[in-house]
Amino acid sequence: MDLLASLAAEERWLFPAFLVMYAAIYSVGQLVVFRRWAPRQRLDGASCLISLFHGTPAALAAAGAILALPARSRSFAAPNARLQDHVLDYSVAYFVMDLLHYLAFLPGDVLFIAHHLATLFVFLTCRYIVRHGAYALLVLLLLAEVTSLLQNVWTLAGIWRDQSTAAARVYGALSPPFYVLYTLVRGVAGPLFLLKMTVFYLSGQAVDVIPWWVRISWIVVVGTAIAVSNLWIWNLWKELFRERKQSMSKSKKDT
DSSP 176-197: HHHHHHHHHIIIIIHHHHHHHH
How far, in Å, CA of 235 to CA of 155, rounded? 15
Mean pLDDT of the chain: 93
Q: How far apart are CA 235 and CA 238, in angstroms?
A: 5
Percent of all residues in the chain with a pLDDT value above 90, rounded to a whole number: 84
- Report the pLDDT value the prediction gives residue 175, as an integer from 0 to 100: 96
Which of the four pLDDT bands, split at 50, 70 and 90, describes residue 254?
low
User: Cβ atoms within 10 A of the Cβ of 128, count?
Assistant: 14
Checking if the pLDDT of 189 tops 90, the result is yes
Pairwise CA distance, residues 53 & 65, whole Å: 18
Distance in angstroms (rounded) separating the CA atoms of residues 201 and 207? 8
Task: Work out the percent of the chain whose per-residue pLDDT is above 70.
Answer: 96
Residue 253 predicted with pLDDT over 60: yes
Predicted pLDDT at 135? 96
Q: For residue 57, report the phi and psi dihedrals to the nearest 5 degrees.
A: -60, -40
Handedness of CA 150, 152, 170, 238 (dihedral sign): positive
At 1, the pLDDT band (50, 70, 90 cuts) reads low
In sequence order, the β-bridge partners of residue 79 are 132
Of 45, 64, 206, 82, nearest to 141 by C-alpha is: 64
pLDDT band (50, 70, 90) for residue 168: very high
Confidence (pLDDT) at 9? 78
Of 212, 202, 65, nearest to 140 by C-alpha is 65
Burial class (CB in 10 A: 0-12, 13-18, 19+), 167: middle
Which pLDDT score, from 0 to 100, does residue 166 have? 94
**Which tens digit of pLDDT belongs to each residue from 50-86?**
999 999 999 999 999 999 888 888 899 999 999 999 9
According to the model, what pLDDT value does residue 225 have? Answer: 95
What does the alpha-carbon distance between residue 130 and residue 113 come to, in Å, rounded to a whole number?
24
**Helix H or strand E segment including 203:** none
Q: How confident is the model at residue 102 (pLDDT cuts 50, 70, 90)?
A: very high
Q: How confident is the model at residue 90 (pLDDT cuts 50, 70, 90)?
A: very high
| Residues 30, 44 contacting (CB under 8 angstroms) | no
Residue 134 to residues 72, 86, 125, 140: CA-CA distances in angstroms? 14, 11, 10, 10
Furthest C-alpha separation in the chain: 71
Tell me the pTM.
Answer: 0.93
Can you tell me the distance from the alpha carbon of 57 to that of 202, in angstroms, rounded to the nearest whole number? 32
pLDDT tens, residue by residue, 9-40? 788 999 999 999 999 999 999 999 999 999 99
